[in-house]
Amino acid sequence: MSLPVRVLHFADIHIGMENYGHLDRATGVNQRVLDFIRGLKTVVDYALDHEADLVIFAGDAFKTRDPNPTILREFSRQLMRLSAAQVPTILLVGNHDMPLIEKRANSVDIFNTLAVPFITVGKTERLHLIETRRGMVQVATAPWPARSRLMASADEYRKLSIEDLDRELERVVGDELQRLASEVDPGLPAILTGHFTVGGAQFGSERNVMIGRDAVISLAALANPAWDYVALGHIHKHQQVNRGSLPPVVYSGSLERIDFGEESDAKGFVWVELVRGQTIWRFVPVSVRPFITIDADATHDGETPTDAVLRAIERHDVTGAVVRVRVKLLHEQEAHFRPKLVEDALAAAHFVASISREVERDARSRIGIENAESLSPLELLDRYFKSRSTSAERTADLLEVAKTLIESQ
């Protein structure tokens, strides 16, 4: 049996995200941007240290279609390390890389224009024959299926509704994937890399940063025995969509967390040992900045509600983390809450995203009354006193005063 071709598959680095970051004075770059750049460097380091034969980037290099020169420089610096080491690298064009107008250059086209050695830009549906140190590999590229390409190809598409365009686009992509599979040489290992949503996949936070309307491609269009591995980008949550069957249809997931929707998601890339008909793969997690949600219920802390939050903070290691605090308060506790003390307790955090308060303002929500309209004011007041554990004697006195006040109106 031939030696496996070692492939590193990653995607969705979105360099340029500045959420939850401050300006780094040493570099003049937002600290969160530096986090994303470090993630890319980690991937390239791993590829070089483990002698990868092929690197596949499955799309979405930047936050926007028009990255600023500093961000483009940092991305290029890492890619040039792979080129200098003669590691063939595929750069698939994702929706964040795609220009609004079809004829314009995409955000990674510069590598193609400059003919950078060992780097191939996958901007069309095409089967590429890639020579690696361990033999030839076929890589089919299926970039983000832009609706603008469809509309530019025939006037008839311009008359369709958005929903009909979606269905037609999905059909066209399916036909293209079938064509690519038919071109595969069965004697050589083959990879399909695509940037789109596959039916049945679990979403991450990619919809919060979505550029372009999503098209959903059926799993059946990808689960073709022509492929030994399907390397996907676009969805930020790492997963094997083909449920353990062959070929593996794998989202590598993103390299950094975008927001709190990805708080518990592992981040990393995929290491593939590619052999025709016998491919194995594993997810390689990377260390990323933690996102931590701290929930505190202060409704039993009376006039010291801040204490409940401080106790909750003590249960977490917030050092270097992006943190949000959610505290539950009673209406009468609001005036006693001290957010400055909470901020001081979070001094070791990288960024405090929010200190939000959920305040119970309606007494009915605290005393468990479903049909309050059926009760008199005095009955409601009686329920309230019971919910506050007021003594029977005190309750009777207060109800008597309330009755006198009501009757005097």
- Output 82 or 165, whichever has higher pLDDT: 82
351-384, pLDDT tens digit by residue?
A: 999 999 999 865 455 555 555 656 778 878 888 8
Sketch the domain layout of the chain as residue ranges: 5-285, 290-361, 366-409
Place of tokens 């994702």: 94
Query: Residue 316 in contact with residue 291, Cβ under 8 Å?
Result: no
Residue 294, CA distances (Å) to 259, 308, 333, 382 in order: 15, 11, 19, 35
Kindly tell me if the per-residue pLDDT of 211 is higher than 70: no
Segments of 44-87 assigned E as strands: 54-57
Compute how many other C-beta atoms are within 10 angstroms of the C-beta atom of residue 134.
16
Is 34 exposed, middle or buried (CB count within 10 Å of its CB: 0-12, 13-18, 19+)? Answer: middle
Phi-psi region of 184 (alpha: psi -120 to 50; beta: other; left: phi over 0): beta
- Residue 405 confidence class, pLDDT cut points 50, 70, 90: confident
Retrieve residue 381's tokens: 């007041």
Question: How far is the C-alpha of 227 from the C-alpha of 381, rounded, in Å?
Answer: 71
What 3-state class would DSSP assign to 126? strand
C-alpha to C-alpha distance for 117 and 120, rounded to whole angstroms: 8
pLDDT in tens, 256-305: 999 999 999 999 999 999 999 899 999 999 999 999 999 999 999 999 99
pTM given for the model:
0.83
Rounded alpha-carbon distances, angstroms, from residue 263 to 226, 236, 237, 254, 368? 36, 12, 11, 13, 33
Give which of 275, 278, 269, 212 is closest to 236, Cα–Cα: 269
The pLDDT confidence band at residue 386, using thresholds 50, 70 and 90, is confident
Q: Which CATH class is domain 5-285?
A: alpha beta
Query: pLDDT tens, 16-44?
Result: 999 999 999 998 999 999 999 999 999 99
Q: What is the pLDDT of residue 314?
A: 97
Average pLDDT over residues 213-229: 91
CB 5 within 8 Å of CB 54: yes
Residue among 36, 23, 104 nearest 65 (CA): 104
Integer Cα distance of 265 and 280 in angstroms: 23
